[in-house]
Every structure is written in C-alpha cells, then in structure tokens.
C-alpha cells in the first residue's frame, strides 16, 4: 500500500469524491479515513479531499450505468457499517466492478467483495429492526421525537423510510451513539452532526399515553409464562433502552 492517506468529511458524498479522485489519479493502493479520527504520522502523506457534489454524482451515475443499481445499494449500505476497513473494501469492490460489470457480486472469491456484501446485509438488517422497534413521542412543540443507539450508522436509512411514512409530520430522530440527528420539516431531511444534546420535553398528552401504555404492558404480562431467553431473542436488549414499556 502506498504511503498516501485520503481524508474526507465523513459524509457519503465526501467518500464518493475520494473515490472519484482515486480513479482519476489511479491511486488505488491508498488508505481512506475520516478527518476527525486521523492520528497523523510523518510516514504518510495526508491529502484532504473536499466534498464535491458534481464528482459524487458522476460516481453514482457511473456505478449505476456501468455496474448496476444493486452494486450502488451495496456500497451505500456498506459505507454506513461500523467496521473501519469498509472504505478500502468499497474502493476495491468498485475497481473490480468497473471491469466485470453487473456480475461483481459473483466474485466472492475476493475477500473485499464478500466483505462489502456482509457489511450491506448487517446494515440493512439492523435498519429493518429499528423500523419495527423505533418509538416516537410527542413533544411540547408538536414535533415527534425518537432516540436510537445503533451499532451501524443507519440514521439516514431509517430517516428516508419515515420521510415516506410520516410525510405530514415534523419529526426528529437522534442517534445518541454518534451524536447526530435527522430533522424532517414535512419537506426535506436535514442530517445534523455533533449534536451533544437536545432539550426535549414531552407534551402533557404524551406523558399520559406513556403512563397508560406502561400500565397496559404490565397488565397483559402473565408472570408464570415469562420466557426471558425467548424475549431477548425476539427483542434484543439494545432496542429496549428507547422503548417506553421498558423504561
């Protein structure tokens, strides 16, 4: 691997800008990382790549036209995986993809292809679970609010889903692990980073309904039929910290 490290702002479009420059300059043997997590060393040359939307869009178009729509979905999801080596895997995946086209996913003999597919699966699986278990509460400002704490960075995927389902509501989804939130104003989604805290107060109606829901949850439980092991399998504990009935 060459002694060059590309850094970017951590966004998907920023990463695609890096991909564009890698292909343009033929610097495939490089390391890619986010600006905020680098520890500089004199052994490497650091090149900061500024996000360029036109370059990113060209990469997206190229992937969809010369490889496939599925390949784009693969790298989109893999990007939000929490594994550090995902950037290198995606770069190698695309390098091969532009050579073999839509058959790229058949080349599982390459670790980087298998890694991208596994990362994609992990991200979409976790996002799907949050779509089922996420809880919204009504704030005093009549905005729906929810908190999540995922292993992978699934906030954008989850937010895009609810922008189609809660189209007539204003809402906020806050990722407490990454300190970022998605804000929807009935028209657009805004992703905000480095959000340390949100001063959220529930409406009086919300407090009443939460109390009623907790009471209902306790009432329907049959004590001598509790199966903690099965319950944990069906509803992992990491989801419960943001579910009213378990608070």
| DSSP bridge partners of 191 | 182
Beta partners for 34? 8
Q: Which residues pair with 4 in a beta bridge?
A: 45
- DSSP state at residue 110: S
Dihedral pair phi/psi, residue 226, rounded to 5°: -65, 135
**CA 172, CA 231: separation in Å to the nearest integer?**
28
Query: pTM value?
Result: 0.81
Lowest mean pLDDT among 10-24, 33-47, 143-157: 33-47
b/e 37-76 (16+ beta carbons within 10 angstroms → b): eeeeeeeeeeeebebbeebbebbbebbeeebbeebbebbb
- Res 180 pLDDT > 90: yes
Report whether pLDDT(220) > 90: no
Work out the widest C-alpha separation in the chain, in whole angstroms.
67
Whether 1 shows a pLDDT value over 50: the answer reads no
pLDDT at 231 > cutoff 70? no
Query: Tell me: the pLDDT tens digits for 19-52?
Result: 999 999 998 888 898 876 656 566 678 889 999 9
> Do residues 145 and 137 touch, judged by C-beta distance below 8 A?
yes
């Amino acid at each position: 691997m060459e002694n060059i490290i590309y850094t970017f702002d951590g966004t998907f479009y920023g990463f695609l800008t890096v991909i564009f420059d890698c292909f343009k300059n033929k610097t495939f043997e490089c390391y890619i990382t986010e600006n905020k997590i680098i520890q500089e060393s004199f052994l490497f040359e650091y090149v900061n790549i500024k996000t360029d939307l036109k370059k990113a869009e060209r990469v997206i178009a190229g992937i969809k036209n010369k490889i496939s729509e599925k390949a784009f979905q693969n790298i989109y999801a893999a990007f939000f995986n929490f594994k550090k080596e995902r950037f290198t895997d995606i770069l190698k995946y695309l390098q091969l993809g532009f050579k073999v086209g839509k058959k790229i996913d058949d080349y599982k003999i390459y670790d980087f292809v298998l890694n991208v597919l596994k990362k994609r699966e992990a991200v979409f699986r976790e996002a799907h679970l949050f779509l089922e278990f996420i809880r919204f509460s009504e704030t005093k400002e009549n905005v729906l609010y929810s908190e999540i704490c995922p292993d992978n960075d699934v906030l954008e995927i989850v937010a895009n889903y609810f922008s189609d389902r809660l189209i007539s509501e204003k809402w906020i989804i806050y990722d407490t692990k990454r300190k970022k939130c998605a804000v929807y104003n009935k028209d657009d989604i805004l992703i905000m980073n480095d959000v340390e805290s949100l001063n959220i107060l529930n409406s009086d109606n919300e407090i009443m309904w939460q109390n009623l829901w907790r009471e209902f949850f306790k009432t329907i439980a049959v004590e001598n039929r509790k199966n903690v092991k099965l319950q944990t399998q069906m509803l992992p504990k990491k989801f419960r910290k943001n579910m009213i009935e378990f608070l």
